[in-house]
C-alpha cells in the first residue's frame, strides 16, 4: 500500500493524519509544516534528505512559527487557550499570586497577528515577540516632558531617587513601583509597541521601542528612558472599545493585555503609510503551524471549548463569517488568524476513527496513512525478506482484527542501516510482540496465527504452547472451562532466522 498524503490537502487549514502505529504520521508532520511555511510541495521536500528538512523545521520552531504539543486526558483548556496559574512573587518570597497566562495555542495565534516590523537601518533588528504597552509621559499638567519625548524620539519615566543602577535594589516605595520599573527594564523589549496616554479613552501617539533602557543624566527629572521610533504623534485616537471598553489608567507603564491586536495593527498600518523613513511595517505574511500529536487522546470539548467553531476556515479572522469570542478569564476577544494551520495526528489503534468527536471530524480534513511496505523493499536480514514478512503479518491482522491495527513500516526502517539479527530480535521482542499482546488482549492462540507459529516446529515458535496436564494440577477436574494449553514467549526463537522465515513460508 502507498501512503496517501495528497497535495490537494496541503494548504487546508485543519488536517489530521490518521492510521495504524508506525506509519510515519509524526514524521510527516515535519514535512507538512515545512511545506506549508515555505509554500512548496510535499514531493519537492520528499526528494530532499530528511535531515535537511528537519533542520529547517527546528529553526522555524525556534523562531515561533511552529508549535508542538501532545494531547492527553489531563490536558485542558487552561494549557491550550488560557487559564489562571499560580506564580511566586519573586525568588526570595514564598508568597503566591495568581496570573492569567495564555495557553500554547493562543500564544501562537497572537504571534501570527503581530505586524512585520523591519528596520531600514543596517545592523538594527527588532524583536518578533511584540507586546503592546501604555505609557504616561509626565504628569498631565507637565506637557514639556511629553513634547521632549516626541521631539527626541524616546519615552521617559521617573523615580530618579532610586538611582541609575536598580539591579541591586531590594526595597521599593511600594509593589506597584517595583512592577512598573521591572516592566520598563525587564519586560519591555525592542520591537514592542507603545501607546502614549492622552486621556482615559484616547491615545495621542504610537511608537515602537528601538533601544534598551538608558539613564539621561542631562535632564532634570524622568531620567529613565528608552529610544522610540514614533509612528504617529499628536493624534487623538479612541481606543476604549479596542481595549474591551476599559479605561486607560494613570499608571506609568503597563501592558495592554485586553486590547484588540487586530484593531491596533490596522491603526498602525494606517499611520505607517506616511512614515517609511527608518521602518518598514506590514501585515504578517508568515505562515504558522500548530501540531497536535495524538489528537484523539484528549478530551476535545474540554480542551478546545468555543475554539471548535473559531478554527473553521469560514469563521477565522478576515473571513466573510469571521467570529470572535470573549475569553472567560481575561475577558479579551479572541479569534483564529487565517495564517495559522493545524495538523493533528491520530493513532487508529488507540481509538477507532468512528468514535472520534463528531464536531472535530466536521472541521478537519482526515488523511489516511497506511503502512507503506515499498520502503522495506530490499531489506534482508540473514535470508529474511522483511517486506514479505510484514506484508504477511498485516494480511493476517486484517482478517483476525481489522486494517486499522496493522503494523507500520516505521518499526523496521532501522534495519536499513543495521540489518542484523540482534536488531530484528530487539524490534520483535520490544515492539511487535507487546503490540500484538495489546491488540488481541493476550489471546495467544491468535498471536500464534499471526506469526505462523501454529505451523512451526516447537523450537521455532515465538509463542510456545504446551498442553496443560490437569491431573497433575487439580485433585479433581473442576466442572468449568479450562484452557487446554499454556503459553509462553520463547526468547530463543528471536535469534533464529527460520522463526521469521516461517511467518511467510
What is the rounded CA–CA span in Å between residue 344 and residue 362?
A: 14
Give a yes or no: residue 147 inside a domain. yes
Give a yes or no: residue 267 inside a domain. yes
What's the CATH number where 272 sits? 3.10.590.10
Residue finishing a domain among 258, 281, 304: 281
Q: pLDDT band for position 479 (50/70/90)?
A: low
- What's residue 123's pLDDT? 55
Q: 128 and 271 in one domain? A: yes
Q: 420 and 378 in one domain? A: yes
Q: 188 and 331 in one domain? A: no
**Paired strand residues for 380:** 385
Q: Render pLDDT for 193-223 as a digit per residue (tens, 0 to 9).
A: 999 999 999 999 999 998 899 999 888 888 8
Q: pLDDT band for position 190 (50/70/90)?
A: confident
Q: Strands (DSSP E) along 8-81, which ranges?
A: 14-19, 66-70
Give the pLDDT mean for 234-256: 88
Domain that residue 425 falls in: 373-504
Q: Render pLDDT for 46-66 as a digit per residue (tens, 0 to 9).
A: 899 999 999 999 999 998 999
Residue finishing a domain among 323, 351, 368: 368
Number of domains present in the structure of the chain: 3
**Paired strand residues for 293:** 70
Q: 339 and 444 in one domain? A: no
Q: Is a pLDDT exceeding 80 seen at residue 119?
A: no
DSSP per position, 80-137: HTEEEEEEESSSS---EEEEEEE-HHHHHHHHHHS-EEEESSTT----SS--EEEE--
- Sign of torsion, CA 67 72 75 80? positive
Q: What stretch of H or E contains 358?
A: helix 358-363
Q: 273 and 234 in one domain? A: yes
Q: Is a pLDDT exceeding 80 seen at residue 248?
A: yes
Give a yes or no: residue 61 inside a domain. yes
CB burial of residue 127 (10 Å; 0-12, 13-18, 19+): middle
Give a yes or no: residue 85 inside a domain. no
Is residue 31 within 8 A of residue 53, CB to CB? The reply is yes
Task: Give the pTM.
Answer: 0.79
Q: 267 and 131 in one domain? A: yes
Give the dihedral of Cα atoms 447, 453, 458, 461; nearest 10 deg. Answer: -60
Give a yes or no: residue 269 inside a domain. yes
Q: Render pLDDT for 341-366 as a digit per residue (tens, 0 to 9).
A: 999 998 888 764 445 567 777 888 88
Q: 430 and 344 in one domain? A: no
Give a yes or no: residue 210 inside a domain. yes
Q: 489 and 404 in one domain? A: yes
Q: 489 and 358 in one domain? A: no
Q: What percent of the chain has pLDDT over 90?
A: 44
Backbone angles phi, psi at 72, to 5 degrees: -155, 175
What's the CATH number where 302 sits? 3.40.50.300
Give a yes or no: residue 110 inside a domain. no
Q: 419 and 296 in one domain? A: no
Q: 399 and 320 in one domain? A: no
Give a yes or no: residue 88 inside a domain. no
Q: 343 and 426 in one domain? A: no
Residue finishing a domain among 229, 251, 281: 281
Amino acid at each position: 500500500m502507498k501512503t496517501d498524503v495528497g497535495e490537494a490537502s496541503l494548504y487546508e487549514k485543519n488536517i489530521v493524519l490518521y492510521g495504524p502505529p508506525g506509519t510515519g504520521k509524526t514524521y510527516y508532520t515535519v514535512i507538512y509544516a515545512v511545506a506549508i511555511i515555505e509554500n512548496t510541495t510535499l514531493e519537492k521536500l520528499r526528494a530532499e534528505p530528511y535531515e535537511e528538512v528537519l533542520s529547517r523545521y527546528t529553526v522555524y520552531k525556534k523562531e515561533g512559527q511552529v508549535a508542538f504539543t501532545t494531547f492527553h486526558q489531563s490536558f485542558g483548556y487552561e494549557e491550550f487557550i488560557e487559564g489562571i496559574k499560580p506564580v511566586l512573587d519573586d525568588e526570595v518570597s514564598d508568597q503566591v499570586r495568581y496570573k492569567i497566562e495564555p495557553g500554547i495555542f493562543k500564544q501562537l495565534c497572537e504571534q501570527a497577528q503581530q505586524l512585520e516590523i523591519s528596520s531600514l537601518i543596517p545592523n538594527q533588528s527588532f524583536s518578533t515577540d511584540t507586546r503592546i504597552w501604555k505609557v504616561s509621559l509626565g504628569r498631565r499638567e507637565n506637557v514639556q516632558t511629553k513634547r521632549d519625548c516626541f521631539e527626541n524620539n524616546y519615552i521617559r519615566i521617573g523615580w530618579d531617587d532610586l538611582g541609575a543602577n536598580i539591579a541591586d535594589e531590594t526595597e521599593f516605595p511600594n509593589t506597584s513601583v517595583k512592577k512598573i520599573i521591572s516592566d520598563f527594564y525587564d519586560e519591555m523589549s525592542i520591537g514592542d509597541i507603545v501607546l502614549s496616554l492622552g486621556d482615559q479613552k484616547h491615545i495621542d501617539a504610537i511608537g515602537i521601542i528601538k533601544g534598551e533602557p538608558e539613564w539621561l543624566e542631562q535632564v532634570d527629572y524622568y531620567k529613565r528612558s528608552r529610544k522610540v521610533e514614533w509612528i504617529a504623534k499628536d493624534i487623538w485616537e479612541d481606543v476604549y472599545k479596542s481595549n474591551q471598553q476599559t479605561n486607560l489608567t494613570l499608571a506609568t507603564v503597563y501592558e495592554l493585555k485586553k486590547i484588540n491586536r487586530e484593531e491596533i495593527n490596522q491603526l498602525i498600518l494606517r499611520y505607517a503609510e506616511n512614515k517609511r523613513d527608518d521602518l518598514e511595517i506590514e501585515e504578517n505574511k508568515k505562515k504558522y503551524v500548530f501540531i497536535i500529536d495524538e489528537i484523539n487522546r484528549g478530551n476535545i470539548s474540554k480542551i478546545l471549548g468555543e475554539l471548535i467553531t473559531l478554527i473553521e476556515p469560514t469563521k477565522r479572522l478576515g473571513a466573510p463569517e469571521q467570529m470572535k469570542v470573549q475569553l472567560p478569564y481575561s475577558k479579551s476577544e479572541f479569534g483564529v488568524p487565517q495564517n495559522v494551520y493545524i495538523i493533528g495526528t491520530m493513532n487508529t489503534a488507540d481509538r477507532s476513527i468512528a468514535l472520534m468527536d463528531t464536531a472535530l471530524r466536521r472541521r478537519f480534513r482526515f488523511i489516511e496513512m497506511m503502512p507503506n511496505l515499498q520502503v522495506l523493499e530490499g531489506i534482508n536480514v540473514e535470508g529474511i525478506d522483511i517486506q514479505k514478512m510484514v506484508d504477511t503479518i498485516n494480511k493476517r491482522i486484517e482478517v483476525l482484527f481489522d486494517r486499522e491495527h496493522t503494523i507500520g513500516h516505521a518499526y523496521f526502517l532501522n534495519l536499513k542501516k543495521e540489518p542484523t539479527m540482534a536488531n530484528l530480535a530487539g524490534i520483535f521482542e520490544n515492539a511487535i510482540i507487546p503490540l500484538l499482546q495489546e491488540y488481541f488482549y493476550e489471546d495467544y492462540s491468535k498471536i500464534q496465527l499471526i506469526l505462523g507459529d501454529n505451523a512451526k516446529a516447537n523450537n521455532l515458535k515465538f509463542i510456545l504452547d504446551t498442553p496443560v496436564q490437569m491431573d497433575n494440577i487439580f485433585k479433581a477436574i473442576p466442572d468449568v472451562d479450562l484452557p487446554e494449553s499454556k503459553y509462553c514467549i520463547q526468547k530463543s526463537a528471536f535469534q533464529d532466522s527460520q522463526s521469521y522465515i516461517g511467518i511467510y513460508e
